[in-house]
Amino acid sequence: MATVNRDNVEEVKTDDGSPKIKPRPIVRLGIFLIAHSPIFSVVFSAAGVLALLLLPLLAKNTYISENALMPGSARSMLSNQDVSDGSKLVNDIKNCRLNHEGQGVEVQKLIGKYMSDMGAEVSYQKFHPEGNQFHPLHFFSGPDSYTLLENVSCASYGVNVAGIIRAPRGDGKESIVLVTPYDFINGGDYESLSLGIVSSLFSLLSRVTWLSKDIIWLVADSRYGDYRPVAAWLNEYHSPSFKVSELLKCDELNTADNFRRAGTMAAALVLKVDGRSERFEDTLSIYAEASNGQMPNLDLINVVNYLAVHRQGFYVKVEKVVSLLSSSWLKIFGEIFEAVGKLAHTLNPDWNFGIPAADYLEGSATLASSLYSQALGIPTGPHGAFRDYQVDAITLKVSPRFPPDSKTRQHDFFLRGARLLEGTIRSVNNLLEKFHQSFFLYMLTSPSKFISVGVYMIAFALLVAPLPMVAASLYIDGCKALTNSTHNSAGNFKSWKWLDAAKQVFALHLLGFIVTLLPYFICQVPGQHSPRNRSIMWGTTSSSLLLITFVTIPGCSLFSSRPHGTNWAVLKSVTIAAAFIGLCLMSIINFATAEIGALLLVPTCLMAQPIKPALRSRRVKSLLGAFCSLVLVTIGFPVIFFAISKGLLGEGLGGLSLGGEFWIWLESLWAWKSATYLYIGMVHLPCWLLCLCILFHPS
């Protein structure tokens, strides 16, 4: 220990001969990094992007972590009798809808009758289609208790049907939920097949003795969208208002005091059947992303995937960005990685990290979609409503390979679909504890491959690592510059250099906060406005606010030529520090948003430099730098980035309606309480404005 201490304080003779204590190695390393920050920031950022591109290679195969699940270990008990019950229901619904041309609740009553014939307890629930009201202070406040509007019109409401099978010997503490969204008015033939599948299963479950959790089958009235009925039902389940509701008086169907419950939900499965499969097999798509990039436990996906692939022979897929599949640059990357992998394999046969370029392409397209849906923070299906109540849920979308009127194929399809669900329910039923064993933070690159949090965080960490380094180095530079310029007085306040810059950064962040809240007030403006008008309103108020900020806060003046106290280097340093803090905070809330945000914000922040000196110097290098920073700042503007990403996703751009579309997009973000909205308003926008300030800094 003594020697170590002496090592630490190993002295170095300075010029005047007095011993100077050498700092510790970690401090020296820090100083070294800061001193060479330009090189390191380039290296780290490049490594960050590369690590992101490498992620499909690093994906691991999924495995079932919870031993109690035991998927596929029991023989399926589903009989042909059950399946024919399901087919009968589908036929009856068809006939019923022909007889009662899209009115009343006849179909609901029919389904309810089927349920009660199977021995289930049936309840009907009325809900109002509009529930989501944006309120800026309700972010992260958990699921809303949709406050009942005073004047509920009876014209539009939906009716959900829920049936509960009580586990014969269970204690009723837990339940498993099956959801089939069905549009009772104009649901297609394919949609009713999902009812058939679950009805077959339900008929089986009402007989079996192995249930330990109650089973709830919810037929959600999806005429107002898939999500809303499920959310309304869950809201009634978890936080009913015991006050009298206007909606109850609306109809011949009396649903008062009828709502039934069945314990804590262990898991939920949403089943949808849509259009014909393009492949030879029946296709099963799994959707898992819930609000703010939350994912269900990986074990739930694993169980479904295992049973679908190994027992029922479905082709399982998860969503991917199709346009990426044909992108040539990604293909080149894939080929390079493949070549490197092959090379490594020849060097040492144990190194098997190479994957074929086609697999890489598929993996990255899936990963991109996963990243995109998580970053957007909007649930990809009705399962998102369950996640708000900490219930693990996924949506299974099945596409049969036959036309909907083929009776013979339908039987087989029902059998396999119901067996898949039966196996999944049996596995979840085996669980003694709630899902906790496997991952919650992951991204899928294929239905059977995932990247865990420990791996994908590396890419982000590398990407944001330059920020503190550059901030520190800029701060040191800025301080030096300031001390040189105002040599006489600055010595006393050396450590307070950043205060002016911090004021400016704070002012712009405050502005960002106000701009974030503005849409709420714009929505309160009476009268009907088109999204485009609203976006114009928003734009004008925001820019006028910006102008006011610039006028009132002296340090912020963007275009004034008068040189003032704040050095741009210090300003940039504080900006980068703020961006770093914002990104790190966001990475905890929603990793995908932070990752995409970092990809945009990090280069912009690092490259931002005043363009005036660059133009004055007329050197190619500085001109190129100025051009790059200009381009980056342009891309960094949220509206422009929105337009670019739309173009990338292969959707058409309607030039003038861009503002309107952007507004609609933002509206959807806050309607879903996506933290991405907060990120854009409170981290991205202020940092972007600050970069603009630096760009036009009169230095």
Partner 1 sequence: MASLLRSLFLLLIVQSFLVAIAFGSNEVEEFSEALLLKPLPDRKVLAHFHFENRAPPSNSHGLHHHLFPKAISQLVQKFRVKEMELSFTQGRWNHEHWGGFDPLSSMNAKPVGVELWAVFDVPQSQVDTSWKNLTHALSGLFCASINFLESSTSYAAPTWGFGPNSNKLRYGSLPREAVCTENLTPWLKLLPCRDKDGISALMNRPSVYRGFYHSQRLHLSTVESGQEGLGSGIMLEQTLTVVLQPDTTSVESNMQPSWSLSSLFGRKVVGRCVLAKSSNVYLQLEGLLGHGSKNVDTEIEAHGLWKNADFELSLKPERVLRESSSFLFIFDIDKSSDSEPFDLGLTWNLPSKWSCQQAPLHASRFLMGSGNERGAIAILLKATESQEKLSGRDLTNGQCTIKANIFQIFPWYIKVYYHTLQIFVDQQQKTDSEVLKKINVSPSTDKVSSGMMEMMLELPCEVKSVAISIEYDKGFLHIDEYPPDANQGFDIPSALISFPNHHASLDFQEELNKSPLLSSFKEKSLVRSYTEVLLVPLTTPDFSMPYNVITITCTIFALYFGSLLNVLRRRIGEEERFLKSQGKKTGGLKQLLSRITAKIRGRPIEEQSSSESPAAQSSVLSSKLIFKIILVAGAAAAWQYFSTDK
Q: How far is the CB of 209 from partner 1 (least distance, A)?
A: 8
Q: How far is the CB of 389 from partner 1 (least distance, A)?
A: 4
With respect to partner 1, which residue has the nearer C-beta, 165 or 576? 165
Closest CA to 284 of 407, 405, 423: 423
CA separation for the pair 127, 232 (Å, rounded): 6
Q: How far is the CB of 156 from partner 1 (least distance, A)?
A: 23
Strands (E), 65-186: 121-127, 158-165, 174-182
CA separation for the pair 396, 283 (Å, rounded): 10
Q: How far is the CB of 257 from partner 1 (least distance, A)?
A: 5
**Length of the chain counted residue by residue:** 699
SS3 state of residue 216: strand
Looking at residue 607, its amino acid is: M
Residue 192 class from Cβ within 10 Å (0-12 exposed, 13-18 middle, 19+ buried)? buried
With respect to partner 1, which residue has the nearer C-beta, 11 or 651? 11
CA separation for the pair 279, 343 (Å, rounded): 35
With respect to partner 1, which residue has the nearer C-beta, 249 or 564? 249
CA separation for the pair 508, 557 (Å, rounded): 12
Q: How far is the CB of 392 from partner 1 (least distance, A)?
A: 12
With respect to partner 1, which residue has the nearer C-beta, 319 or 388? 388
The single-letter DSSP state of residue 315 is E
Residues 6+ apart with CB under 8 A from 358: 334
Q: How far is the CB of 259 from partner 1 (least distance, A)?
A: 9
Looking at residue 625, its amino acid is: G
With respect to partner 1, which residue has the nearer C-beta, 386 or 580? 386
Q: Are 672 and 379 in contact (CB under 8 A)?
A: yes
Please give the biggest Cα pair distance in the chain: 104
Q: Are 246 and 256 in contact (CB under 8 A)?
A: no
Closest CA to 141 of 354, 379, 329, 388: 388
With respect to partner 1, which residue has the nearer C-beta, 267 or 579? 267
Q: Are 464 and 580 in contact (CB under 8 A)?
A: yes
Q: How far is the CB of 32 from partner 1 (least distance, A)?
A: 13
C-alpha 664: how far from its chain's center? 18
C-alpha 333: how far from its chain's center? 26
Q: How far is the CB of 85 from partner 1 (least distance, A)?
A: 12
Q: How far is the CB of 72 from partner 1 (least distance, A)?
A: 23
With respect to partner 1, which residue has the nearer C-beta, 42 or 256? 256
SS3 letters across 273-337: ECCCCCCCCCEEEEECCCHHHCCCCHHHHHHHHHHHHHHCCCEEEECCCHHHHCCHHHHHHHHHH
With respect to partner 1, which residue has the nearer C-beta, 209 or 328? 209
With respect to partner 1, which residue has the nearer C-beta, 194 or 245? 245
Q: How far is the CB of 38 from partner 1 (least distance, A)?
A: 21
With respect to partner 1, which residue has the nearer C-beta, 19 or 403? 19
Backbone angles phi, psi at 390, to 5 degrees: 55, 35
With respect to partner 1, which residue has the nearer C-beta, 195 or 211? 211
Task: Quickly list DSSP for 428-480.
Answer: HHH-SS-S-SS-SSEEEEETTEEEEHHHHHHHHHHHHTHHHHHHHHHHHHHHH
With respect to partner 1, which residue has the nearer C-beta, 249 or 279? 249
Residue given tokens 């499920």 in the structure block: 230
Q: How far is the CB of 436 from partner 1 (least distance, A)?
A: 5
Binding residues vs partner 1 (CB under 8 A):
1-3, 5-7, 9-11, 13, 19, 21, 119, 142-143, 166, 168-174, 209, 238-240, 242-245, 256-257, 261, 263-264, 388-390, 432-434, 436-437
With respect to partner 1, which residue has the nearer C-beta, 12 or 155? 12
With respect to partner 1, which residue has the nearer C-beta, 248 or 517? 248
The single-letter DSSP state of residue 249 is G
Q: Parallel, antiparallel, or unpaired: how do β-strands 11-13 and 19-21 relate?
A: antiparallel
Q: How far is the CB of 208 from partner 1 (least distance, A)?
A: 12
Looking at residue 327, its amino acid is: S
With respect to partner 1, which residue has the nearer C-beta, 53 or 118? 118
Q: How far is the CB of 207 from partner 1 (least distance, A)?
A: 10
Q: How far is the CB of 238 from partner 1 (least distance, A)?
A: 6
Q: How far is the CB of 237 from partner 1 (least distance, A)?
A: 8
With respect to partner 1, which residue has the nearer C-beta, 149 or 332? 149
Q: Are 111 and 221 in contact (CB under 8 A)?
A: no
CA separation for the pair 383, 265 (Å, rounded): 13
Q: How far is the CB of 296 from partner 1 (least distance, A)?
A: 15
Sheet holding 264-273, edge to edge: 121-127, 158-165, 214-221, 174-182, 264-273, 392-399, 283-287, 315-318
- Which residues make beta-bridge pairs with 124? 161
Q: Are 287 and 383 in contact (CB under 8 A)?
A: yes
- Rounded to 5 degrees, what angle do the CA atoms 657, 659, 662 make? 110
Backbone angles phi, psi at 21, to 5 degrees: -80, 130
Closest CA to 362 of 394, 317, 399, 396: 317
